[in-house]
Amino acid sequence: MATMRDVADRAGVSIATVSFVVNNTKPVSASTRERIEAAMAELGFRRNVVARALASRRTRILALAYPALEHRLSTSAVEFITSAAREASSHDYHLVVWPVSNDSAELADLVGQGLVDGVLLMEVQLDDPRVGLLQSMGMPFALIGRTEDPTGLDYVDIDFDTSLELCVSHLWDLGHRRIALISGDQSVPSFERYGPYVRMDQAYRRIANERGFEEIVLGVRSGARYGREIATELTRIAPDVTGVVIFDEPAAAGLLAGLHTLGRRVPEDVSVVSAIAAIDQAFACDPPLTAVTAPGVELGLLAVQALVRRLEGGTPLPPQLRTGSFVLGESTAPPPASGRRRAATRRTS
Amino acid sequence: MATMRDVADRAGVSIATVSFVVNNTKPVSASTRERIEAAMAELGFRRNVVARALASRRTRILALAYPALEHRLSTSAVEFITSAAREASSHDYHLVVWPVSNDSAELADLVGQGLVDGVLLMEVQLDDPRVGLLQSMGMPFALIGRTEDPTGLDYVDIDFDTSLELCVSHLWDLGHRRIALISGDQSVPSFERYGPYVRMDQAYRRIANERGFEEIVLGVRSGARYGREIATELTRIAPDVTGVVIFDEPAAAGLLAGLHTLGRRVPEDVSVVSAIAAIDQAFACDPPLTAVTAPGVELGLLAVQALVRRLEGGTPLPPQLRTGSFVLGESTAPPPASGRRRAATRRTS
């Protein structure tokens, strides 16, 4: 890398003079400036981004605030981070990762340093103290996820309604009428008001109400071992359930294993659909899971676009809700005969 | 966030004067400086990191160059990234993610911008053009992984020898004598000289030679579907294998499912051990996999420590090789009777 010293030597001036030109800190005669700029071009010297940042009051750095709480959507997090970094790069921005907690003190400290032009907030909660903080600090931001009332905010999020609708419709069309939702356990402190769980619950209750089936909701902690436990609990409290939508990827695999251990065959006895799954994870299961995938790559890209538009004075990007793809695995089939009675009756009527 | 204007108003000076103090660009009388600094303290104004960077020629930003090639160790990548970001933060550094390819042109461009003080290289290949590039640019760096001859470089890596030794010893001690390695497929262009695959192969061949068992090595592409395929291939080319070490997490789950489909029971007929696994993934499998875990958190932390020492003139951190934990699942057991013959014979001798 050509240094200022190299440029100075080539141009026959002092390093200080080069610095005056690079950092625009002092006037320099036109001929000297010309010599220095020629030397910089020859040597491939790049005007330092730090100097540029100081001059423009823009660092062209964005932060991704990635809370250190247990990461529920972790399987798509790498996809998300790399997609966001790539999109930032295509707009000539850098992306720093801030592994901060969901409380706002740490974030305030980082924002106050003046390093970044804007912030992407991940793992947004319904009442998220970070939103008010960033507003009060005048720091542009975009949400991945959304607060209870995100009016006026820039956000991108999973379309939980459509995602769950895809899962339930698939089971319903196969003839299932006893359909349970296994969602996140909101009794875990950091997930009390965790948007994805709340929205998934709401979507399920709305759909159950519309279609007229009984609501059966269980909460599961993230992790395969908890999935195994929930298989036992589900079988105990609702043995006649024939269709399950599960919204936790590690737990989904554990659920399959747990049902297997209990002698309940998937899909012959119970059908299982994974909501917001990483496709490869779903296909790693036995049997491969029917799933609606997480739109991690797309959300990473859109979140950066929303923020960049805000920073550069473009038309704000309207809120973006996205659904992943429906992927048919081998974990779903029509319900067993007894459970299919209603559907069969209907078919013959 | 207090702005320069706020500080100027409070101190009764112009913004330019505040800027002279903040950015240290022009001398200011002692009494004025004092008033401005008092105002900054009252208002919680933080001296801009950009100005500090320009003054100190240090940005206190580190880059994590995370190649956009298929990520083989992706399940632990989030752990790695967040651990590195947290450790950087504890040393008062920020971490930017650069999703660059393994070729060096893109990296040269980013390094040349002068944004970062040092670089962490992930997914290091045996002949990695990025190493020579960073050396020639005088940019400090540390490797996660290592080149063929990493003498003199700062690196942290998985201890493949010990990891594989743990896997094979476990199978050996159970009585297995036909032990295959399913490693990455090096015929995939970007993984031709991929260090982890090469080292894992070497470790396996060394151990097979030492213990005197026949080498059976298969390459698998990453992904559950390929794991299913490799189950068929393994059964075809080496039907008498009773123990398998597999070094690809998504494929491991597919292997189990594939063996199950073929009517080969795990662990009754075949034992499977997953090398360099994420613990939760291993336990999501059916049966839960016996595994040696990936030391992602530890490597993220150590890599940052190595780089920070280099940047701050401390004693260089010697190369760090780490092994994850051995976790006993339910995928391993003594080999079936026929496969156990040799072991049984030996026991009675």
Q: What angle do CA B221, B300, B106 make, to 5 degrees?
A: 65
Dihedral of the alpha carbons of B91, A106, A297, A184, in degrees to the nearest 10: 120
Query: How far off is chain A from B307, nearest CA to CA, in Å?
Result: 17
User: Taking residues A144-170, what's their average pLDDT?
Assistant: 95
Highest mean pLDDT: which of A53-67, A203-217, B89-103? A203-217
- The DSSP symbol for B290 reads E
CATH superfamily of B4-56: lambda repressor-like DNA-binding domains (1.10.260.40)
Q: Give CA–CA dist A334/B91, Å, rounded.
A: 57
B105 in A contact zone (CB under 8 Å):
no
- Residue A173 pLDDT: 97
What does the mean pLDDT of chain B come to?
86
Nearest alpha carbon to residue B160 among B326, B324, B6, B38: B324
CB distance from A15 to chain B under 8 Å? Answer: no
Residue B277: which of B167, B147, B154, B201 has the closest Cα?
B167
Predicted pLDDT of residue A348: 39
Taking the C-alpha atoms of residue A217 and residue A253, their distance in angstroms, rounded to an integer, is 18
Per-residue model confidence (pLDDT) at position A342: 45
Question: Does the pLDDT at position B229 exceed 80?
Answer: yes
Length of chain B: 349
Q: Say whether pLDDT at B71 is over 70.
A: no
> Strands, DSSP E only, in chain B?
61-65, 94-98, 118-121, 141-144, 155-158, 179-184, 217-220, 243-246, 271-277, 290-293, 320-322, 326-327
CB-nearest partner of B260 from A86, A138, A286: A286
Taking CB atoms and an 8 Å cutoff, what residues of chain A touch B115?
49-50, 61, 94
Compute the C-alpha angle A162/A167/A229, nearest 5°: 125
The nearest alpha carbon in chain A to B134 belongs to A1
What is the model's pLDDT at position A339?
A: 46
Query: Looking at the complex, does the CB of residue A253 fall below 8 Å from at least one CB of chain B?
Result: yes
Q: Residue B17 pLDDT more than 90?
A: no
Kindly state the helix (H) or strand (E) to which residue B306 belongs, with its residue range: helix B296-311
Question: Out of B82, B96, B114, whose CB is closest to A48?
Answer: B114
Cite the residue boundaries of each domain of chain B with CATH code 3.40.50.2300. 61-158+296-322, 160-294+326-348
Q: Is residue B254 less than 8 Å (CB to CB) from chain A?
A: yes
Q: Which chain B residues have a beta carbon less than 8 Å from that of A40?
A: none
Q: Quick check: B307 pLDDT over 80? A: yes
pLDDT at B162: 96
* ipTM score: 0.77
In the chain, the amino acid numbered B268 is: E
Mean pLDDT of chain A: 86
Query: Is A62 within 8 Å of A73 (Cβ atoms)?
Result: no
**Alpha-carbon distance A62 to nearest alpha carbon in chain B (angstroms):** 9
**Strand pairing category for A118-121 and A141-144:** parallel
Sorted by sequence, the CB contacts under 8 Å of residue A128 that are 6+ apart come out as: A102, A121, A147
Indicate if the pLDDT at residue B108 is higher than 70: yes
So what's the pLDDT on residue A48?
Answer: 64
**Residue A338: which pLDDT band, with cuts at 50, 70 and 90?**
low
Preceding omega of B287 cis (within 30 degrees of 0) = yes
Does A138 contact B113 at a Cβ distance shorter than 8 Å?
no
Higher-confidence position of B28 and A302 = A302
Do B48 and A114 make contact, defined as CB atoms within 8 angstroms?
A: yes
3-class SS shares of chain B: helix, strand, coil, % to 5: 50, 15, 35
Q: How confident is residue A254, by pLDDT bands cut at 50, 70 and 90? A: confident
How far, in Å, CA of A349 to CA of B4, rounded? Answer: 77
- A76 CB near a chain B CB, below 8 Å? no
CA–CA–CA angle A75, A76, A81 (5° rounding) = 125
| A contacts of B51 (beta carbons < 8 Å) | 54
Q: Is A77 an 8 Å CB contact of chain B?
A: yes
Q: Answer left, alpha or beta for residue A152, where phi above 0 means left and psi between -120 and 50 means alpha.
A: left
**In this predicted structure, what is the pLDDT of residue A199?**
92
More confident position, A14 or A206? A206
CB-CB neighbours of B7 under 10 Å: 26
Which of the two residues, A31 and A282, has the higher pLDDT score?
Answer: A31
Task: Please report, for residues A10, A36, A219, B54, B58, the alpha-carbon distance to residue A22 in angstroms, rounded to integers and kept in the order given.
Answer: 15, 9, 59, 11, 16
Q: Is B101 near chain A, with CB under 8 Å?
A: no
Provide the pLDDT for residue A120: 96
With cut-offs at 50, 70 and 90, classify the pLDDT of residue B32. Answer: very high
With CB atoms and an 8 Å threshold, state whether B66 touches A82: yes
Across B175-182, average pLDDT: 98
Looking at domain B160-294+326-348, does it have CATH number 3.90.1170.30?
no
Q: Where in chain A is the domain with CATH 1.10.260.40?
A: 4-56
Segment B278-287 shows an average pLDDT of 76
Q: Which alpha helices (H) appear in A128-221, and where do they start and end? A: 129-136, 160-174, 195-211
- B256 with A286: Cβ contact below 8 A: yes
Most confident option among B17-31, B118-132, B231-245:
B231-245
Percent of chain A having pLDDT more than 70? 87
Give the torsion sign (CA, B204, B208, B209, B214). Answer: negative
Mean pLDDT, residues A113-135: 89
| pLDDT surpasses 70 at A72 | no
Q: Is 90 exceeded by the pLDDT of residue A73?
A: no
Q: According to the model, what pLDDT value does residue A76 have? A: 67
Q: pLDDT-based confidence at A23, cuts 50/70/90?
A: low
pLDDT of residue A99: 84
Report yes or no: B285 at the A interface, CB cutoff 8 Å.
yes
What's residue B48's pLDDT?
64
Flag whether pLDDT at B75 surpasses 60. no
End-to-end CA distance of chain B: 80
Just give the CATH number of B61-158+296-322: 3.40.50.2300
Q: What does the alpha-carbon distance between residue A128 and residue A103 come to, in Å, rounded to a whole number?
A: 8
- Nearest CB to A112; choose among B1, B74, B224: B1
> Average pLDDT for residues B178-202, to the nearest whole number?
87
Pick from A255, A271, A276: which is nearest to A329 by CA? Answer: A271
Query: Which of B1, B111, B122 to mutate against chain A (most A CBs within 10 Å)?
Result: B1
B254·A25 Cβ contact <8 A: no
Give the least confident one: A179-188, A293-302, B70-79, B202-211: B70-79
Residue B322 has pLDDT above 90, yes or no: yes
